[in-house]
Each structure stands twice: as structure tokens, then as C-alpha cells.
A and B are shown apart, each in its own frame.
Chain A
Amino acid sequence: MNTLIFRTFAPFITGLMVVFSIFILLRGHNEPGGGFIGGLIAASAFAIYGIANGVPPVRRAIYFHPHSIAGFGLLLAALAGIPSMVAGVPYLTALWTYPVIGNVEVALSTPLFFDIGVYLVVVGAITGIALSLEERHRG
């Protein structure tokens, strides 16, 4: 897979896919999409980058170890249920707030943070697997 065309285009494809995955993540509450599928798209973006340019550039690019990303996602998802404790409702009950930021109403909710957590868990776990398989593949 080490062709010039692929190596040249891989960073653009990767960037595009990561942006798309975040789009999928955010539209997920009301329309098809969500953290899991978004995370898969982002993980395949990193895998493409890894196939084209090798594993070390990917590890440098994502900066944190994939497992740490997954751990942070798990933490975020678990903590997304905690505001329910203050509100006097059961764990993981959806709580919504609609702050207006510069004339735009932004819907913020605890499921959003839960979904971002899921996204990060999937990105971290699948990227970790893909990268270590790729490393082994190259010997």
C-alpha cells in the first residue's frame, strides 16, 4: 500500500474522516449516528494514516496512548451520570440545558457527554488494536 498517491492523500482523507466522525457523533442524538459509529469512523481514519505512513507518525499525531484515550472516555461516560445525583433522579437520567451563546441556542445534555465518552472509548480501543496489529505486521 506504499504508493505515492496513497501516501499523499492519506493525511487529507484522515482529516476529513475525523471531522466527519465528529459530525456523526453530534447528530447522533436525534438522527442516525452517535458515539459508537463515530468512534469507528475516527479509528478507521487513524488506521488509514497508519497503513500509509507507518505506525510511529500516528502515535505522534494522536499524542496520547490509545488506551489512555479509552480510559478517559470511560471516565467521561461514567461521570456523565453523576449530575443526576444532584438533581435527585436515578443515575444516567438525561438532563438538558439550553444556554444561548451569541443568539444560537445550544442544546447541552448529559447524554451528549456520555456519547462523547463512548466515542473516545471506541476510538481508543480500536485504534490501539489496529496500531498494534499494524506494528506486528511490519515486524
Chain B
Amino acid sequence: MAGKSSKVIDTSGVLVEANVQLVDYLIIAPILIPIIFGAILLMMRRSDEWTKSGVNLSAYVACFGIALMTLASFALLLRVNAQGPITMTMGRWLPPFGISFSVDKLGALLTFVGSFVALMGAIYSTADAKVIDRRFGFYPFLLLMMAGVSGAFLTGDIFNLYVWFEVLLISSFGLIVLGSEKKQLDGTMKYAFLNLVATTMFLIATGYLYGLLGTLNMADIAMKLQNYDGDGPVRTIAVLYIAAFSMKAAAFPLNFWLPASYHTPRIVVSALFAGLLTKVGIYSLLRVAVMLFSFEREFLSIGIAWLAGATMLVGVLGALAQNDIRRILGYLVISGIGTMLAGIYVATVPGLSGVIVYTVHSMLTMTALYLVAGMIGKISGSFDLREVGGLYAVSPMLSAVFFVLCLAIAGLPLTSGFWGKFILVKATLEVEGAQWLALIILVSGFLTTIAIFRIWIFAFWRGGPSGTPDGKENYQNNILDDKYKLTASLVIGVLTGAILLIGFMPEWLLSYSADAAQSLLFPNDYIESVFGKEAL
């Protein structure tokens, strides 16, 4: 529209005519809230100088922001659960030209769990983040990273997905280098380089796809690919996408950046990275490889199966070989990614719902495990298995919680991990000729049990570090200050509670994720939410 009010332009057939309800703003609320709070926090980096007592104001603002975001995404989850996929197209331009944000059950669930995990991380950081971290922008980076994460989960446009990847990557660079120690710079280099390569591949694939189909809207792509014949270029694009996203998810053979970098930053940063970032890669694989390129599955599937098996084994064998607790956990993240890939290979409704359950479980469990590792590190002053020990005597409660988390990551009953693995193994066994993959899931679960209980035995069960006589009196542990102890216990307790809750009452999550898997495989209602009924 030009500057003169007298000029009238006919906009029919260009703009979305339907009115937008206030409640539809829930679609972008989980993105908008962290952006707004991130911007505010950027302006108050030095807020501890504003008052004489040096109150940690920015931490509280950040927690409040992420809490709001969690509430908004929970409301969104309820709405999507009741109504099915919903779409809002930015700036009122008609899709596929306007950028759509389409939320289906998968996106809504992961956004909610992601912001919940981030809330726990933010609360933990109130007691843990140092003044210098706050000055260098820990909280603005955290909030902007969350905007990127939920943006990736909620967008319905593949180029926009790339943009959110960039947003979360750049913020995560800031978070991982916070502190600027030598080994952090080293870890950041590997992390940044591999991720930038993956992002570039993603961009190239998107360029090809646009050249081929002339659209970037995911619903539109799904429709056009259904009627597209001639599969050469489509296969190239699908392989490029899968390579890019598996790199981001740290799948074999491009998994080495993860254990090389995740142990270097602050423990809360590692926890959030392990909980959130690789899962964005898995989510994108689900969205692109399953929903968009579904008919290419026969061609691609055997590759994904090998990828899954190798990732599981490499991850867990790497975990067995390590002595640093954080590195063990890093390798277990990779092994979990392999398990999720196995479900993507199966790509039936039970298989995909197993992936979704396992993703939710992995987000909660990995974050909790890293935070417990942080507590172990604080108490014993080291993350090396050879130098820790006797923590059972220091805190029986922490040992109990860690025990539950061990069961969860190993996929043993009573916990959320059991259900994810159970459904996945069952779904894999149903596929003709994929029994070997089910066997690998079980074997890697068994090896995970050994790897994680090594930490349990070394850090908690035995009397003390090697070279000291047994018994609590013989060696010194750091005494935690009360505020840290309270905050960390609260956060880890809530996360463990959530894991146990899913373990005991999985019905809601299982039926929800089955619905989500159904709408991934048959995205008709997703397309309908963007283009209306006539399009189908």
C-alpha cells in the first residue's frame, strides 16, 4: 500500500480473509515470548549493578519469561489436542506465499517438553550461573536459543525452519563459548564447524527443492510431491536433507563433534544442549524424511537402518570407553539418537509413536542426568570416574534419584525410557527382515545399562576414590551451599518425577503420540489447516 490514503488496491485473492481469533496467537506465543524476554534481558545484562545488593534480577526475569513460554505452549498443546493442526500465516499473505506456522500434535508436544526442560535449566542456573556469565549474556542467549528451538518445532515453512536453525545455532555458539576457556574454544570450533557444514547442506537442499517444486511451504511440498513423477532429483534432495539433519542429530558417522564439545561448557548449558538440540535434528528428520519424502522411504530406508544401528553401537561403545562422566553422557546422547533413528526407519504408526515417546523421554532424562553430573562435580570437585566416590554416604537421596535416572536411560521398567524402547522394539520386530535392528536396540540397551551403572558404582556405591580407604571420614567432599542444594534438588526432583510419572501412567502420552504419528504419515489434516478443505 502506498503512502497516500486515497489509493485503493484490490487485495482479494492475495490476503487471508478469515478473522484471526485471539487464541490463535498461541501458535506464535512460544516463539514471541522468548524473543521479547531475550531482547529485554539483552538490555539488562548489567542489572546486578542497578541495585546496591546486586540482586540477580536478570535470572528471575528469564525464569519468568520461560515460565510464561511453558504455559503458552501447554495451552497450545491442549488446543491442538482438541482441534487438530492449526495454522497461522504471517502478515496475512495467502499461503504458500506467506510464511505459515503450522502446529500439529508432534510440534506442540515437543515445544511444551522443550520449554519445560528449559524452565528447569533456567531455575537451576539461578543458583549456578556466575556473575561473569550473566554479564556475557547467558540469559539473553538462553532465551533466544529457546525462540529458535520452538520456532523450529512450530514452523510450517522449510526455509523458515532453516532460519530457526540459524537462530538456535548462533545463540548456542554464544552459550557454549561462555567462559572462554581454552578447551571451550576447542570444543566450540568443532561444534560450530560441523554444524555450519550441516546448515549449509540444509540450505543447498532447500534451494534444490525450491528449484524443483517452486514452493517452500511444507504442506504445499507434501501435496506436490505426492503427484510428482520422476524420482532422481527428489532422491538427491531427500538424501541431502537426511545427511544434514543426521549431522545435527549427531548420527554416525558424523557424531564426533558431540562428545568433543558437550563436556566443555557450563553444566547447565550441556544439559540443555543434550536435552534440546539434537532432538531438533530428530524432529526435522521426522518432518522432512517421514512427512514430506514419505514415498522415497523404500529407497532410503535401508540406509537409515544401518545409520541407526551404527549410531546406537558407536554411541554406547564410546560411553563404555570413557572416564569423564560428562563424556559418557555425551556418548549416551548419541546412542539414544540411534534408537530414535531406528523408529524413523520403521516408519509405521507404532514405530513413529515410539520415536516420539522416546524423544520426550530423552529430553527429560538427558537434562536430568547432566544436572546430576553437575552436582557430582560440585561435591567431589571432579568429573573423572577415578577421582569420585562415596557419594552414597554424602547424599542417599541423590543416589536414589540417580538410580532412577540410570533405569530410565537404560530403558528399564518403572520409567519413561521403558515405554519408548518397548514400543520401538515391538514395532521393529513387526517389520519383515528388520529383526536384527530390534536385536541391536536390545544389545545397546544392555550395554547402556553397563555404561551408566559404571557411574553409579564408581561415584555412589564404592567407599571413596581409588587410593583412599573406605568410609566417609577418610576424604573430604565439598559442602554445597544451601541455595544451590535446594535449587538443584528441586529441579532434578521435578525432572525425575516427570520421568516416573510417564513410567507409571503412560496411557495419555502413548495415545497422543500415536495420533501424532498418524498425522505425520497421513498429513491430510495438516494440509487442510493451511489450504482449507478444497485443496485436497
A-side residues, CB < 8 A to B, are 29-30, 65, 67-68, 70-75, 78-79, 81, 84-85, 88-94, 96, 98, 105, 107
Per-residue interface assignment for chain B, residues 61 to 103, with 1 indicating a CB less than 8 Å from any chain A CB and 0 otherwise: 0000000000000000000000000001111100000100000
How many B residues touch the partner, as a band? 20 to 34
B residues engaging A (CB < 8 A)? 1-5, 16, 19-22, 24-25, 28, 32, 35-36, 38-43, 45-46, 88-92, 98, 137, 140
**When the two chains form their complex, are residues A74 and B39 in contact, meaning their CB atoms are under 8 A apart?**
yes
Interchain CB contact under 8 A, A74 and B38: yes
Known: A71-B140, A72-B43. A90 touches B38 (CB 8 A): no
Given A30-B3, A105-B5: A78 and B88 within 8 A (CB)? no
A98 to B20, CA, bound (A): 24
Question: If A29-B3, A74-B38 touch, does A90 touch B20 (CB 8 Å cutoff)?
Answer: yes
Could you list 12 examples of A-B contacts with CB < 8 Å?
A30-B3, A65-B46, A67-B43, A71-B41, A73-B39, A79-B36, A84-B20, A89-B19, A90-B24, A90-B98, A91-B28, A91-B88
> Residue of A at shortest CB range from B87?
A90
Residues of A within 8 A of B2 (CB): 30
Q: Of B32, B35, B41, B91, which is within 8 A of A90 by CB?
A: B91
Q: Which residues of B contact A90 (CB under 8 A)?
A: 16, 20, 24, 88-92, 98
**Do A74 and B19 touch across chains, with their CB atoms under 8 A apart?**
no
Verify B19–A71 contact, CB threshold 8 A: no
Chain A residues within an 8 Å CB radius of B16: 90
Q: Tell me the complex Cα distance, A67–B141, Å.
A: 12
Complex interface: chain B residues within 8 A of A72 (CB): 39, 43
- How far, in angstroms, from A84 to B91 measured CA to CA in the complex? 9
Bound CA span A93–B25, Å: 13
Tell me whether A92 and B91 are in contact (CB under 8 A): yes
Question: B318 CB to closest chain A CB, in angstroms?
Answer: 38
Given A75-B36, A85-B25, A88-B20, residue A93 in contact with residue B5 (CB < 8 A):
no
Instruction: State whether A78 and B39 are in contact (beta carbons under 8 Å apart), knowing that A92-B91, A93-B92 are contacts in the complex.
Output: yes
Is there an interface contact between B40 and A71, defined as CB atoms closer than 8 Å? yes
Complex CA distance for A35 and B90, rounded to whole angstroms: 20
Looking at A29, A72, A90, the one whose CB has the most chain B CB atoms below 10 A away is A90
Complex CA gap A106/B137 in Å reads: 39
Nearest chain A residue, comparing its CB with the CB of B38: A74
Q: Within 8 Å CB of B88, what residues of A?
A: 90-91
